[in-house]
Amino acid sequence: MGVLRPVRMSKVGIIGLQDDQDRILDLLHDLRIAQIEPLSSTALAELAPERGSETQRRIGDEALRFRGLKAALPAVPTGPPRAFASLGDVLRAANDVSIDAEVGGLKREDDRLATEERAVDDEIGLLEHLAFYPDRLEYLRAKSFVSFYGEDRPEARAALAAALPPTADAQFLDDPSGSGGFVVTLRTQNADVLARLAQTAGVRLTAVPELSGTPRQEVELARTHRAEILRRRVEIAARLGAISRDWYATVAAIDEALQIENRKIEVLSKVGAGSTTFALETWVPNRDVPRLDSILRTATSGRVCLYNVPTEEEPPTLMDNPKGIRRFEFFIRFYSLPQADEWDPTLVFAIVFPLFFGLMLGDWGYGLTILLICLWMIRGFPGAQHLPKFGRNFVKRIMGPEGMRQLAYTLLPGCALAIGLGLYWDEFFGYPLFLHLFSYVAPSDLKANPGFVGVLLLFAGFLGLGMVTLGFLFGLLKEYFHHHPRGALGKGGGIMFAWGIAFFGLSLIRPKTLGALTSAGISFASPLFDGYFVLMVVGLALLLGGEGIMNGSMSIIEVISHILSYTRLVGILLASIILALVINTIGGGLIGAGAVVGIVAGLVIVVIGQSFNVIIGVFEPGIQGARLIFVEYFSKFYTGNGRPFRPFGAARTHTQSTVTADGLAPGPLVQAPPQ
């Protein structure tokens, strides 16, 4: 498990006999610990690339066939996984499946009937709208004129009628129920004119169906036809279910086996082949190399050789943080995956982001509301279908359901901290609830504690100093491990300059505060003041010397601005409190007036205003909290743009794995009973 660093990787070469190639690829597939890479030029000089064969083409054809069969059959329980001793067994089992013609015919008929059912439903809906027309529908069509049904506001219908030329001889029949429906009949040669005018006016028109009876008669006929379609589709579903009970387990197992063979074929282009041997190269986590060696040797009776491949390539990145911390990898991947040889910032992000979020929210009413929304997101949005369509579409545009769930998990600690701070500060949707209920004077009460905002700003400043220092420290260690002494010197100078400028500036602006912190008086004649000045100057010199005049000058500005940037934590907190206070003051004033209209208006203002503030409470602390880490912290050490570790293989469901459940030794292929 990797903390602060991605998992260490080794490039490992594997040489084995051609007779063992299939078995070795099966093991690599099921272990899922090796990312297979193209052979290096050194190995290709001794070996030739693998060539395609007729068997591989047959595997592709059969895989396509069984993917279609599996999709057509309804899923049923499949029982224990099935084992195939060899590729020949898979192909023989595939050849024994003889349900293609019947399943294909039933599926094509069902698709045709589904299309026909939708057309009949549309026709029934149109005929129900036309129920106000009393005569036979055949009277609405002829060679010289056509008829359309439309529905819109009366003024839109009137504007459409006025825009039609007199030569169209248009006749309108309105629905007497007042629904806005109408039938328009006009000469055939003017149909295009009507279509253009309707499109411009936003009026949707539908051609009257070519039927003979009255709308009521035709609705009954259409419903009878729909019932016949449904009956036949039920019969098809029942027959497919019967076939599935007999064949689905076999089809699913063969489909999975063929998909695995297809994956093996895809990596063959990266494999080198000799007359009796083959070779491949993979990236494997260091911790898994001994296990891989043991498993392959056991499976091949020692007829395999693993060796380290010297390389200057950048390894792929595998992050493996503890379970709770792993949730925050979502943010790191969203920003940029770390390179394999740099720091993994997930742990620091998991600690600092909830702190920033809770501090900027700082209200137990908002914190509890957002916490409940997060729990709703984690449970999969139950009842979301009852929300307005606009709200559902807005959420979908932000990110998918799984992304929203991951985001919700990461917000839970921040919400808990916001609730705790809100209880301590007596902030409930911007209202001092405990003050009025229990006469509790909170530390945030500016009348009782006028210096509260100053203390918060000082705390935010020291928090910024700590984050900037930590960023420079990681940068220093990175430069040291990469053997860049000058860069390490510059990062160390950044730390010294940050502390020097912070305390030097604080001794000028707030000498009393700094004196209280150091338990000593600070003045221009104080040795501490001189020490801060020297620390700042030495750090400045190291920063310029390590990073150069140009980059060092930019770093000086960044150090100061990045430390001060953390004061936005307090700014966003105060903005939320003030906005809530304004909403409560205006809404409460209207409610307190006693008039019915005022009470209703006040409630509307409070509900809408507080809902808006809740939305801001999610976005502002979330975005600004992540930004403070991405910009002010990451910029000191983080490169990113790593390539993800993508091991060869996938989980099996319907076929027996070639390794045991503990993944430590090859498992015997026990042939399951025939299906």
Note the pLDDT tens digit of each residue in 166-186.
Answer: 888 888 888 888 888 899 999
Checking if the pLDDT of 563 tops 60, the result is yes
Closest CA to 62 of 246, 261, 268: 261
Distance of alpha carbon 246 from alpha carbon 579, whole angstroms: 66
Tokens coding 47: 């070996």
Dump the DSSP string for 69-101.
Answer: HHHHSPP----SPB--SSHHHHHHHHHH---HH
φ/ψ of 11, rounded to 5, equals -90, 120
The mean-pLDDT minimum among 309-313, 496-500, 512-516, 540-544 falls in 512-516
> 269's torsion region: left (phi>0), alpha (psi -120 to 50) or beta?
alpha
Closest CA to 357 of 516, 200, 436, 366: 366
Distance of alpha carbon 358 from alpha carbon 418, whole angstroms: 4
pLDDT computed for residue 536 by the predictor = 87
pLDDT computed for residue 526 by the predictor = 59
pLDDT (mean) for 109-122:
95
Distance of alpha carbon 675 from alpha carbon 667, whole angstroms: 22
Task: Grade residue 622 by pLDDT with cuts at 50, 70 and 90.
Answer: very high
Query: Are 397 and 346 contacting, i.e. CB atoms less than 8 angstroms apart?
Result: no
CA-based end-to-end distance of the chain: 42
φ/ψ of 466, rounded to 5, equals -65, -40
**Angle formed by the axes of helices 346-361 and 401-425, nearest 10°:** 50
CB atoms within 10 A of CB 600: 12
pLDDT (mean) for 495-517:
74
Tokens 């700082």 -> residue = 362
Distance of alpha carbon 608 from alpha carbon 620, whole angstroms: 18
pLDDT (mean) for 209-213:
89
pLDDT computed for residue 673 by the predictor = 45
**Among 2-11, 236-245, 384-393, the range of highest mean pLDDT:** 236-245
Query: Are 472 and 636 contacting, i.e. CB atoms less than 8 angstroms apart?
Result: yes
Distance of alpha carbon 321 from alpha carbon 6, whole angstroms: 9
CB atoms within 10 A of CB 127: 26
Distance of alpha carbon 640 from alpha carbon 339, whole angstroms: 6
φ/ψ of 644, rounded to 5, equals -70, 150
3-state secondary structure of 341: coil
pLDDT (mean) for 658-666:
73
φ/ψ of 322, rounded to 5, equals -55, 160
Query: Are 124 and 192 contacting, i.e. CB atoms less than 8 angstroms apart?
Result: no
Convert the pLDDT of each residue in 72-114 to its tens digit. Answer: 999 999 889 998 988 899 999 999 999 999 999 999 999 999 9
pLDDT computed for residue 518 by the predictor = 52
pLDDT computed for residue 674 by the predictor = 43
Distance of alpha carbon 642 from alpha carbon 336, whole angstroms: 7
Distance of alpha carbon 11 from alpha carbon 283, whole angstroms: 4
Q: Name the residue with higher pLDDT: 519 or 161.
A: 161
Tokens coding 303: 């007829």
| Alpha helices (runs of H) in 510-595, residue ranges in sequence order | 511-518, 527-565, 568-592
Task: Grade residue 34 by pLDDT with cuts at 50, 70 and 90.
Answer: very high
- Residues 316-348, buried b or exposed e (16+ Cβ, 10 A)? bbbbbbeeebbbbbbbbbeeebbbbbbbbbbbb
Distance of alpha carbon 655 from alpha carbon 649, whole angstroms: 14
> 381's torsion region: left (phi>0), alpha (psi -120 to 50) or beta?
left
| Alpha helices (runs of H) in 342-451, residue ranges in sequence order | 346-361, 364-378, 389-398, 401-425, 433-438
Tokens coding 265: 């074929």
Task: Grade residue 234 by pLDDT with cuts at 50, 70 and 90.
Answer: very high
pLDDT computed for residue 449 by the predictor = 82
Task: Grade residue 494 by pLDDT with cuts at 50, 70 and 90.
Answer: very high
Secondary structure element (H or E) that encloses residue 17, with its range: strand 9-17
pLDDT (mean) for 183-209:
88
Q: Which residues contact 328 (CB under 8 A, 6 or more apart)?
A: 321, 346, 349, 350, 353, 410
Checking if the pLDDT of 547 tops 90, the result is no
Checking if the pLDDT of 451 tops 70, the result is yes
pLDDT computed for residue 598 by the predictor = 86
Task: Grade residue 462 by pLDDT with cuts at 50, 70 and 90.
Answer: very high
Q: Which domains, and CATH codes, for the chain?
A: 9-99+240-308 (no CATH), 114-228 (3.30.70.340), 346-450+571-586+612-637 (no CATH), 454-566 (no CATH)
Percentage helix, strand, coil, to 5, in the chain?
A: 65, 10, 25
pLDDT computed for residue 660 by the predictor = 79
Torsion of CA 379, 385, 390, 394, to 10 degrees: 20
3-state secondary structure of 270: coil
Task: Grade residue 486 by pLDDT with cuts at 50, 70 and 90.
Answer: very high
Checking if the pLDDT of 415 tops 90, the result is yes
Convert the pLDDT of each residue in 129-178 to its tens digit. Answer: 999 998 999 888 888 889 999 988 888 888 888 888 888 888 888 888 88
The mean-pLDDT minimum among 106-110, 519-523, 628-632 falls in 519-523
Tokens 């039920």 -> residue = 234
pLDDT (mean) for 236-259:
95
- Looking at residue 653, what DSSP letter applies? S
Convert the pLDDT of each residue in 359-404 to its tens digit. Answer: 999 999 999 999 999 999 898 888 776 666 665 566 666 667 788 8
- Looking at residue 386, what DSSP letter applies? G
φ/ψ of 672, rounded to 5, equals -75, 155
Tokens 């282009």 -> residue = 269
Tokens coding 476: 């220093």
